[in-house]
Amino acid sequence: MKSTRIVLASRPIGMPEQENFRTETVELEPPKPGQALLQTLYLSLDPYMRGRMSDAPSYAPPVEVDQTMCGGTVSQVLESTDPALRSGDIVLGYGGWQTHSVEWVAGLQKLDPALAPLTTALGVLGMPGLTAYSGLLTIGKPQPGETVVVAAATGPVGATVGQIAKIKGARAVGIAGGPEKVALLRERFGFDAAIDHRAPDFAEQLAAATPDGIDVYFENVGGAVFDAVLPRLNQYARIPVCGLIANYNDTDLPPGPDRLPLIMSAILRRSLTVRGFIVSEFMNQAAEFIPAAAQWLAEGKLTYLEDVVDGLDHTVESFQGLLTGKNRGKLVIKVSE
Ligand code: NDP
């Protein structure tokens, strides 16, 4: 069996470019006992992949140069050496940027195609959904009537954060890039207020949208959004630090004065809780999250938006778009039928 795959050809400096990747077709080894041969149906593209392209110290090892780029996948089993899976089964795995893969059956999760569209296993019912659920409820702890603010709010993490905040009785303020996404926040996801972080008067708009201050800031982006949020944070505000996408392509610290004393004194004077997390810490919450989210979906309390791009050959440009806000919802590559 041959697999067409995209490998990391060199480590990007700044925005990843096409020349940092190489497409090649290789012969796969037949599956060993305990392994299965899979055909990729859908590949998830996620911001964390920018970190895997770098060899800077991180919470997970980098993808090595000349190795297949990593990524979550929904695949069909073509051949299995383990009775737990049969040919034709659909599984959630970690096949990476390629058309076929050989994976350990123990690391695969069988999906029921009748339960929900398969792509949701990569988005609202998958890793990004759990990230939103655990980060918001375990660290953010929103209370009825409190104000929750989240950016990248049309994406799978942000949109889910805003909607769970509403389910818990909080007021949800969403931040996104451009008028089309801002309209989505209000009309599709039901945010109480929606703001464009690219607007020249963004900080003033945020102040007007948070008249009672901010009790939970779910940090997805950092950068200029954090600057506008900091003065609005209330006493005892909670800040789950989930992602800092505004900085993922940075090659150096930004110029300007040292702002650490400003940030630390805000943490001190306003008794802020700032707590970073990686979703893997909360994998034990998946068993409560999936049925809860499935029920909210069925009740119409939770909705999702997916941006499905056809063809593995569009993966690199789609990933660039994720880092610049071109995606509209959870970005997924449809690799095969
Ligand atoms: P999204 O689908 O929301 O895509 C990323 C979005 O980030 C873009 O669409 C863009 O939206 C926004 N963005 C990009 N650059 C900037 C910028 N400079 N300022 C403000 N917004 C920007 O991604 P996800 O929902 O998958 O992920 C959201 C965040 O959560 C990321 O930071 C990601 O790394 C993090 N994450 C963390 C996990 C963890 O375990 N801690 C797990 C999963 C995700 P717009 O056009 O609206 O600006």
| CB 290 less than 6 A from any atom of ligand 1 | no
| Ligand 1 within 6 A of CB of 158 | yes
Ligand 1: centre distance to CA 155 (Å): 7
Distance (Å, whole) CA 151 – CA 216: 12
Q: How many CB atoms lie within 10 A of CB 318?
A: 18
pLDDT in tens, 120-166: 999 999 999 999 999 999 999 999 999 999 999 999 999 999 999 99
DSSP for 93-104, please give it.
E---SBSEEEEE
Residues with Cβ within 8 Å of residue 241, at least 6 apart in sequence = 219, 274, 275, 276, 277
What is the average per-residue pLDDT within 81-100? 97
- Residue 243 CB less than 6 A away from ligand 1: yes
**Which pLDDT tens digit goes with each residue over 27-57?**
999 999 999 999 999 999 999 999 999 999 8
Pick the CATH number of 127-280 from 3.40.30.110, 3.40.50.620, 3.40.50.720, 3.30.365.10: 3.40.50.720
Task: Give the nearest ligand 1 atom to 135 CA.
Answer: 41
Report, as an integer, the average pLDDT of 301-315: 98
Range 2-123+305-334 classified under CATH 3.10.310.10: no
pLDDT for residue 247: 95
Provide the pLDDT for residue 58: 92
**Angstrom distance (rounded) from CA 197 to CA 332:** 24
Residues facing 233 on adjacent strands? 214
Asked whether the whole model's pTM tops 0.95, one would answer yes
Residue 234 has pLDDT above 90, yes or no: yes
Strands 100-104 and 35-44, by their bridges, are antiparallel
pLDDT at position 265 over 90? yes
Ligand 1 centre to CA of 158 (Å) is 8
Q: Where are the domains of the chain?
A: 2-123+305-334, 127-280
Closest CA to 152 of 315, 330, 278: 330
Cα 219 to middle of ligand 1, angstroms: 9
Closest CA to 226 of 249, 201, 245: 245
Q: Cβ contacts of residue 77 below 8 Å, gap of 6+?
A: 36, 37, 38, 85, 86, 87, 88, 89, 90, 91
- CB of 202 shorter than 6 A to ligand 1: no
pLDDT of residue 142: 98
Q: Please give the average per-residue pLDDT across 221-233, as a whole number.
A: 97
Q: Which amino acid makes up residue 131? A: T
Residue 287 CB partners (closer than 8 Å, separation 6+): none
pLDDT for the residue 161: 98
Q: Which atom of ligand 1 is nearest to the CA of 245?
A: 32
Give residue 106 CA to ligand 1 midpoint distance, Å. 30
Does position 262 have pLDDT exceeding 90, yes or no?
Answer: yes
Which residue puts its alpha carbon closest to atom 9 of ligand 1? 325
The overall average pLDDT reported for the chain is 97
Confidence of residue 172 (pLDDT cuts 50, 70, 90): very high
Distance, CA 154 to ligand 1 centroid (Å)? 9
Helices (H), 230-326: 260-269, 286-298, 315-324
Over residues 61-86, the mean pLDDT reads 97
Alpha-carbon dihedral sign for residues 241, 156, 150, 198: positive
Give the model confidence (pLDDT) of 112-125 as tens digits: 999 899 999 999 99
Rounded mean pLDDT of 256-282? 97
Residues above pLDDT 70, as percent of the chain: 100
Per-residue confidence band for 87, with pLDDT thresholds at 50, 70 and 90: very high
DSSP at 315: H
* Letter string b/e over residues 270-295, b meaning 16 or more CB atoms within 10 A of that residue's CB: eebebeeeebeebeebbeebbebbbe
Give me the pLDDT at residue 254, please.
Answer: 86
Contacts of 7 (CB under 8 A, 6+ apart): 21, 22, 23, 24, 66, 67, 68, 69
Residue 255: band (very low, low, confident or very high) from pLDDT cuts 50, 70, 90: confident
CA distance 317 to 321: 6
